[in-house]
Amino acid sequence: MVAAGTRRWGRFVYRHRIAVLVISVFVVALSGLYGRDLADRLTQEGWFDESSESVAASKLADATFGRDTDSDVIALYTAPPGKTVDDPQVRTAVTAQLAALLRDHPDRVLRIDSYWDSALSAQFADDSRTYAFASIGLRGEGSATVENYLAIEADLAADTPGAGPAGTTVQLAGLQPVVEGINTGMQDDIRRAEMIALPLVALLLYFVFGGVVAALLPVLVGGMTILGTQGIMRLLTGHIEVNVFASAVVTLVSLGLAIDYGLFTVTRFREELAAGRSVEEAVSRTVATAGRTVVFSAAIIAVSLGALFIYPNGVLRSVPYGGISSVLLAAVLSVTALPAMLAIVGRRIDLWQWHRFARAGTEAEIDRGIFSRLAVRAMARPWAVIVPVVLGLLLLMVPFRHIEFGGLSEKYLAQDNPARVAQEKFDALFPGFRTEPLRLVVTGADAAQLSDIRLQANMTPGLTGPFEPAAPTRDGINVLEAGLVDERAADTAIAVLRAIEEPDGVRVMVAGVPALERDSIHGLLEGLPLLALLLVVAAVALMYAAFRSLILAVKAVAMSALGLGATLGILTWIFVEGHGAELFDFTPGPLMFAVLVLIVTVVFGLSTDYEVFLLSRVAEARANGADPPEAIRYGIAHTGGVITSAAAILIVVTGAFGFSELVMMKYIAYGMIAALILDATVIRMLLTPAVLKLIWRPKPPRATAGPVAEPNAAVSGSSTAGKT
């Protein structure tokens, strides 16, 4: 039987519907108002493994010598046609521009080294003297550095041919332009999701429900979740660093889930009204059934996201903080504000309807529907379904063995992005310079020991040149720098450097962006077994708590693992191997290292989430007397349409991120789309009933089954299940 407390809550919401809705709207609006400046408080920090040697070495070097600013901004100057960078007019104009930067922005610009004033000037220009560059070091750290870059960007007149000093063309490369390109892309993605996805979802829901009112209610829950999440994320920024990447992921997941929860709830409410119940009883039963399942679903997603806390990377830790808060908010709104709206709307739920789609299907129509027929056919010949489907999913996993991982790169930007164009041009013109060099931090070495260490380091393969001192010795600490020809060979170079023999009392540590990235990649990969174990244990425990069946819990995890593995194989085939690169407009290459664990966590959680909705309806039928085959058919028949619609909604939301200019967001968007298509079709509608038919043997039904069992719903063993 349905827990009395849940039914009482549904009746409470009905009787106090106006007050519940007003309080919900007020709190959400207040949260949205508080979070209106969220975008300004997001950071670019937290990408690296805080427990790694490279981070420790970087902190030591920065504390001793200050932050390395050489790669902040590289201003690449191209001389006008017929002239060179040595032309007096060009020299005078460029040096005047750079001097003005220092004079006008003393609180933002720390130093400038250029071809025209550096003692190493010959290395700052190409042989033809058509190109030369200046290295602009900025003050501040983290997001403050990006802000300082934005403050001087306009003064450099970049990216307009001939608009620079004396007719030169100025292009901006370096760390800060690339970071700003990624930051801007993330903010554009969030706005696109909010401005484009919501109207498209509303249109899709109109065809699902056939009525304007029913379609708008889930969208309202989604909008309220966005507003409420803004305040939650803004509150988090006062205690932790919230990366803009994490904010985009939280928006994607919470928006999609909030609308899905609204879809499940409104669908159940319409079913209850169609069964002849009063509005009060329909609200009460909707909260007691769909509402409880929504809360349970949110718990599974929250636990899945919580597994990311095992990683020390700030960007991964900010995802569960924000994600758990927003998903739980979506669940709370689904059992408070949404039932209150349903109570107010009542039988006008189908107002302004299109009659062709508006009417909710009767029991007989649902039992004759395509999903019911699919379940019956799958159970009729289960092995004929299981073998080809499982083999197909395993085949999709094969490309995953070619997976590669990388760090932040200009190649994640669109091919015509000015920062990417400038960086690639600079790297081609000046292969001996790298804006992201390897660094050796040596402590406690005398001159002879340092010379020997440097000699060994210079034997490292793949360097652009020998290691050179980055600064004079201070407090017994030395920093040596050298670039890498190909950052994909960073693992080999780092391994060689870390194998350098350390004299007594001397410590040699490898730092620099390549080492920071590779250490983070290895840390994430080493944590994957523990992440997988936590996800599996948590899912099995929660599923067992819901359905009191270990075999159902294990089966759910196995299905999720199959779908996840196939998704990762598809992602590798597309984004690493490059199939469809022109179609999806991206440059193939290594997978962004943080994306893998995010996809594993989110896709696993979503897959288990859909399993909960399906098994909840199966459990209802079993609790009311149906034998296992009939209960399975009933569950598939009554959830097939709504799960397919929910997947379609999430595909629309994630599809908005699929138009991102950032490859890392395309990874997540297309990965979720692939997972949703697989899960809502072959896994949930074919593989699940076939496997359940084999593993679920008839036995007397329990008095209560699952989190959503209902009383007084006669379920027969015939083709027509009882009313829900």
In this chain, the answer to whether the domains covering 1-34+181-317+330-360 and 362-400+556-712 adopt an identical fold is yes
| β-pair type (73-78, 109-114) | unpaired
- The answer to whether 262 touches 334, Cβ cutoff 8 Å, is yes
- The answer to whether 660 touches 196, Cβ cutoff 8 Å, is no
Token representation of residue 356 = 């062709």
Token representation of residue 681 = 């079709």
Average pLDDT taken over every residue of the chain: 84
For 661-672, what is each residue's pLDDT tens digit?
888 888 888 888
CA distance 416 to 414: 5
b/e sequence 150-168, b meaning 16+ C-beta within 10 Å: eebbeebebbeeeebbbbb
pLDDT of res. 250: 78
Dihedrals φ, ψ of 444, to 5°? 75, 15
Q: Which residues pair with 509 in a beta bridge?
A: 441
User: Which residue type is seen at 685?
Assistant: M
Say yes or no: domain 72-173 is CATH 3.65.10.10. Answer: no
For the domain spanning 433-518, the CATH number is: 3.30.70.1320
Collapsing DSSP to helix, strand or coil, 474 comes out as: strand
* CB neighbourhood size of 282 (10 A): 27
pLDDT of res. 329: 93
The CATH number of domain 1-34+181-317+330-360, selected from 1.10.540.10, 3.40.720.10, 1.10.10.10, 1.20.1640.10: 1.20.1640.10
For 120-171, what is each residue's pLDDT tens digit?
567 889 989 999 999 999 998 877 888 899 899 888 888 788 888 999 999 9
Among residues 589, 160, 222, 587, the alpha carbon closest in space to that of 413 is found at 587
pLDDT of res. 358: 47
Domain range summary for the chain, segments of one domain joined by +: 1-34+181-317+330-360, 72-173, 362-400+556-712, 433-518
Starting at the edge strand found earlier in the chain, the sheet holding 438-443 runs 468-469, 477-482, 438-443, 507-512
Token representation of residue 560 = 């999720």
For 432-481, what is each residue's pLDDT tens digit?
787 788 999 999 999 999 999 999 999 999 898 899 898 888 888 999 99
Q: Which helix (H) or strand (E) holds 15?
A: helix 4-15
For 544-572, what is each residue's pLDDT tens digit?
887 778 888 888 888 888 998 999 999 99
For 515-542, what is each residue's pLDDT tens digit?
988 898 888 888 889 998 998 898 888 8
For 343-393, what is each residue's pLDDT tens digit?
999 988 877 666 554 455 556 666 677 888 898 999 999 999 999 999 999
pLDDT of res. 421: 92
For 90-114, what is each residue's pLDDT tens digit?
999 999 999 999 999 999 999 998 9
**Average pLDDT estimate for 620-627:** 83
Measure CA 234 to chain center.
18
**Residue 139 carries which DSSP code?**
S
pLDDT of res. 654: 83
Q: Give burial (CB, 10 Å; 0-12/13-18/19+) of 554.
A: middle
650 band by pLDDT with thresholds 50, 70 and 90:
confident
For the domain spanning 362-400+556-712, the CATH number is: 1.20.1640
For 667-692, what is each residue's pLDDT tens digit?
888 888 898 899 888 898 899 999 99
Whether pLDDT at 704 is above 80:
no
% of the chain at pLDDT higher than 70? 93
